Structure 1
């Protein structure tokens, strides 16, 4: 009887193993509240003193706080004071076709990181066509040919290079725009009124954002990125097409579209929790100025609760003539960025906003080249409004190191 009682007591203690600690800023040494500590199924928050207790048998535990690098509590961890390293992201985009470890574009970006304050790389993991940049274990995607254009044949080496240089890594996942997935799953591809597969202006098919199978597919690819060690998952094209008259599995209303995007993000949070990755979502820039969903399912208020970071594409060339009272918004890069983010600070803390910035020629107004002045003005705006940094979009992944040398006057 005593043996049974002792066994029961040991089992109870094992089932409810707890871990407690305090979390502080590694620089200021001040406590950090509302930090998320998670295992694969459970999340708790630190209190105003940075203290938390989590009942979990699992290790590692993951620690996430916006504005800080991710932190991992391992089996060997015994510290009762956890110091999180502050991080303001300064990111350059590395396109799908340049993710090879021997790529000259990657080499150029690493040189910029070595010699400037740039600290982050955004890497295409799944592109618009549906190809993955490295071989994943997601057999459904591979059966469609997603692995036929593998660019990086040694993702472990790539991640090792990133870790050695303390580079924060963001995996870009193109979500509902996916030719391969759509043509192999015609039943949930977006269709024209006549029942044929709809394609957008660049002849790409999309999958239905209402369909949970499309949700699971994109998140499965995201899990592959998390498994190899990316710090953050960035969902792009996480929206409905900006096109009327299309057929979906449900009636397309503002309420239903917003719910579909929210449901996707909730599922992503649930399935990615055990990896400790941050989640960001790209949006149209004009959601900073509208309260409706622009017929695509995106609003600041509806998306903010479900992501760590919101990433509006605030390209000055993307705003129509007359916006901000300017004939050519592209001539006013600081104003476009600053005022857009200022306009949403009542709906999301600006420290959880990280905009995409323009590193390409103006295509809409005066065909202005975006060079050092325009690049630095955009960056200055993010500093003035106190965002979690920025991500620079160059379709060619070509960057001038001179543009990122720190201006001592800022």
Structure 2
């Protein structure tokens, strides 16, 4: 939408519109992965004016399940998921690029990944993408960013201590095991993750969904982030801003997985939702009912009330993401049992609750990568 006073026509790509008497016009824009569109206004005499206009990518939505690299390499776990695809119960598969172990599931050509021994070679990325795309499946690549014990240990041993979150004594932060949490403020750590994301987008992953895009939870006064010159929240958001352009250049979307508590406690793990929303195409909050305490969002027993806690928490994220008007909320939902047995009814309750809260897409998480087809209605 815009205004071109005196223009006879306005064009963008193959689309053309005639402005009204006041110069106002509306043009449809086909999304092709670009972040801007060239708009040309032409008057009756043939004079032109051109402007490059930024456009917001809108995610097409998804009904997805999580698959680790090792699960994808197992026909026993892979084929039931492909059956969900063929039965039209899901339209998206989330496949791990780099997981919590710091291992890359396929043979990455990123030099640092090769140097530190990050490649696990569990699956052939091109083969997997071709197989899924042939079935019309949207493929989300999950990239665990800053929890990375492979990069952490290699960096400490090479003397690159600034790449790790440290305690006040200068030792590696040990909250997730020694060397596990790399420093989101370090340029080399950021460049490594963006290089993996860009490589995956170029390979053909449709989305790059970052996980552990945060600081470690715990007392921030006990932590040190070498090189940090702003707040942890802004540094994390700035990383997403740097990454987004590189990912979009290859036609992929960028998402960020966040803690459920981020909507109400943004500084606890450095995930400020309105701030992050400016730099991603969607936010994926992990609103698993089992992870909420009694009374959260006014729900007495969240794990026993999957509909109530999901609807209220997702609605909060939708409200915050809407502050910039372009970011979708695609929640992670619980497809596993913890304190309470979770079957098809509990999964369906969460899906319905998310829809009622304004999020008609979802990702299902089960660390074992086993999913009950009866929880997912064919479309």
Both proteins in one fold, TM over 0.5: yes
Mapping of 1:262-273 within 5 angstroms?
Answer: 262-273=237-248
Q: Using the TM superposition, name which of 370-379 and 199-208 deviates more.
A: 199-208
Q: How does 1:310-349 map to 2 (within 5 A)?
A: 310-349=283-322
After TM superposition, give the deviation of residue 346 of structure 1 in Å: 3.3
Q: Deviations over 1:330-387 (max 9, x none)?
A: 111111111112224333249700000011113xxxx211101100000111222231
- Is 1:352 the equivalent of 2:364? no
Report how far residue 211 of structure 1 moved.
1.1
Q: Where does the alignment leave 5 or more consecutive residues of structure 1 unmatched?
A: 1-17, 24-30, 48-52, 56-62, 69-87
Aligned to 1:246: 223
Q: TM-score, normalised on structure 2? A: 0.82
Deviation at residue 155 of structure 1 after TM alignment: 2.1
> How far apart are 1:99 and its partner, in Å?
2.3
1:284 maps to which of 233, 246, 259:
259
> Per-residue CA shift, 1:304-347, capped at 9, x if unaligned?
11100001100011111121333321111111111112224333
Backbone CA RMSD of aligned residues: 2.8
The secondary structure found in structure 1 opposite 2:182 is: coil
Please identify, of 313-322 and 242-251, the stretch whose mean Cα deviation from structure 2 is larger.
242-251
Give the 3 Å change call, closer, same or farther, for CA 167–259 of structure 1 in structure 2. same
User: Does residue 158 in structure 1 map to residue 128 in structure 2?
Assistant: yes
1:36–1:64 Cα contact (<8 Å) kept: no
Change (3 A) 1:285 1:273: same
The aligned length equals: 341
- Residues 202-261 of structure 1 show CA distances to partners (whole Å, capped at 9, x for unaligned) of 556111111121111111111121111010000000001012201211468xx6112211
Partner-residue secondary structure (3-state), 1:104? helix
In 1: Cα distance, 2:147 partner to 2:360 partner? 27
Runs of 4+ displaced beyond 4 Å: 31-39
Distance 2:140 2:188 in 1: 24
Query: How far apart are residue 406 of structure 1 and its match?
Result: 4.5
Q: 1:77 maps to which residue? A: none
TM-score (structure 1 length as normaliser): 0.76
